[in-house]
Amino acid sequence: MSEIVTLQAYLDRWAGTDAGRKAVAGAVRTIATTGVGIADLVARGPLEEGLAKIRGTDPNAGGDAQKELDVIAEERIVTALKGTEVAFLASEESEELIPVNTSGRLVVAVDPLDGSSNIDTNVSVGTIYSILPYDAAAHANPAAAVMRTGSHQVAAGFLAYGPATILVSTLGEGTQVFVYDRDKADFFLARDQVEIPAETKEYGVNQSNVRQWHAPMAAYIADCLAGKDGPRAKDFNMRWVGSMVADAFRIFTRGGVYVYPSDKRKGYENGRLRLIYEANPVAFLTEQAKGAATDGKTRILDIVPHHIHQRIPLVFGSKAEVEKIASYY
């Protein structure tokens, strides 16, 4: 039987005596533990009144309606991270960086609750995080630490609150899956070194937007839909949960591609997902699992951000299929 490894043991082994790594391990452990509390709340579903209620009239920093659970999740993460070496937090729910522990050596970017439109439908939602180094002496300001290409991430991951509460994590040495065991009240390593199959016959896209797409995306999906007799010479299946964490976990499990392109709608000129706290962490996890992630043609981890909340078209998953999509652009 393979060795039973808790998240803590895995992180401790990775960190060793290195102070920088210990700080990262502490942040990951804290986000994971906070996620368990969020999962408990999500599991209460309609018993926990008002989690999906829209808060106020102002959209969040990313331009979306803010739900109660979005805000609760953010508050819990900020509070929990105070005990870590995280100096500042960039969050989908807050316009400006949030000071956490300003003497810290890390900055974290989060989508506290991905899949907000699924909160009241008993469908998986999750939390996405990206961890970057922060050096008060070297960075002109805390935002400068966040406004760097995703290739600077030291760790990234997401939690998905579904039938199982899972953590998909990378520390830059492959991608691991941990599962929370409710009886033992701990996360256990379920898959070390995840590998996304390079080839796939499954794509995920919000197909209701087909009339809004630009020519390359429309052509790619049309060729998939043409099936065996079309230019791709194979039948494709389609899956779309509408919570990126759930769609991503499926891809980490059996391959596939996730596509959220730019389209002609106002506000979707750069797609829907946010670069810093959605695309970058997922791209890091994907590459560490031997997949690929682009904005259609350019590698996500090479894109220099110009705004904390900027959107980016996102394609990730099975490498050969991501490359195929790039050939349409």
Extract the annotated binding site for Mg(2+).
92, 111, 113-114, 278
Q: Could you tell me which residues are beta bridge partners of residue 114? A: 126
Contact status, residue 146 vs residue 133, Cβ threshold 8 Å: no
Residue 110 or 168: which CB sits closer to Mg ion? 110
Instruction: Report the alpha-carbon distance of residue 235 to residue 228 in Å, rounded.
Output: 5
Which of ligand AHM, Mg ion, none interacts with 294 (beta carbon under 5 to 8 A by kind)? none
Q: Applying CB under 6 A, what is the total number of residues that bind ligand AHM?
A: 12
Residue 115 or 162: which CB sits closer to ligand AHM? 115
Q: Does 197 bind ligand AHM (CB under 6 A)?
A: no
Which of ligand AHM, Mg ion, none interacts with 117 (beta carbon under 5 to 8 A by kind)? ligand AHM
Q: Does 243 bind ligand AHM (CB under 6 A)?
A: yes
Among residues 6, 33, 151, 206, the one that binds ligand AHM under rule CB under 6 A: 206
Closest CB 271 distance from ligand AHM, rounded Å:
10
| Residues numbered 79-98 forming contacts with Mg ion, rule: CB under 5 A | 92
Among residues 68, 74, 114, 263, the one that binds ligand AHM under rule CB under 6 A: 114
Closest CB 320 distance from Mg ion, rounded Å:
30
Segment contacting Mg ion (CB under 5 A): 103-111, 157-165, 228-236, 243-251? 103-111
* Amino acid symbol at 101: N
What H or E segment, with its residue span, contains residue 179?
strand 175-181
Which pairs count as long-range contacts for 175-178, CB under 8 Å and 24+ apart, including other chains? 175/252, 175/285, 175/286, 175/288, 175/289, 176/10, 177/252, 178/7, 178/10, 178/32
Q: Are strands 165-170 and 186-191 parallel, antiparallel or unpaired?
A: unpaired
Instruction: Report the alpha-carbon distance of residue 222 to residue 290 in Å, rounded.
Output: 27
Closest CB 302 distance from ligand AHM, rounded Å:
22
Kindly tell me the number of DSSP H helices and DSSP E strands found in the chain.
8, 15
Closest CB 233 distance from ligand AHM, rounded Å:
29
Sheet containing strand 257-260, edge to edge, reads: 237-238, 202-204, 257-260, 314-317, 292-294
Work out the angle at residue 161's Cα, subtended by the Cα atoms of residues 8 and 130, and round it to the nearest 5 degrees. Answer: 60
* DSSP designation for 48: S
Residue 68 or 247: which CB sits closer to ligand AHM? 247
Q: Does 111 bind ligand AHM (CB under 6 A)?
A: yes
| Residues numbered 261-320 forming contacts with ligand AHM, rule: CB under 6 A | 272
DSSP alpha helices (H): ranges in the chain?
7-15, 19-43, 68-81, 142-146, 215-225, 244-254, 280-288, 319-326
Closest CB 24 distance from Mg ion, rounded Å:
23
**Three-state SS for 185?**
coil
| Residues numbered 41-80 forming contacts with ligand AHM, rule: CB under 6 A | 64
Any residues with CB less than 8 A from the CB of 147 and at least 6 apart, and which?
Answer: 304, 305, 306, 308
Closest CB 71 distance from ligand AHM, rounded Å:
13
Among residues 26, 104, 115, 271, the one that binds ligand AHM under rule CB under 6 A: 115
Residue 113 or 300: which CB sits closer to Mg ion? 113
Residue 111 or 321: which CB sits closer to ligand AHM? 111
Binding site for Mg ion (CB under 5 A): 92, 111, 113, 116
Binding site for ligand AHM (CB under 6 A): 64, 111, 114-117, 206, 242-244, 247, 272
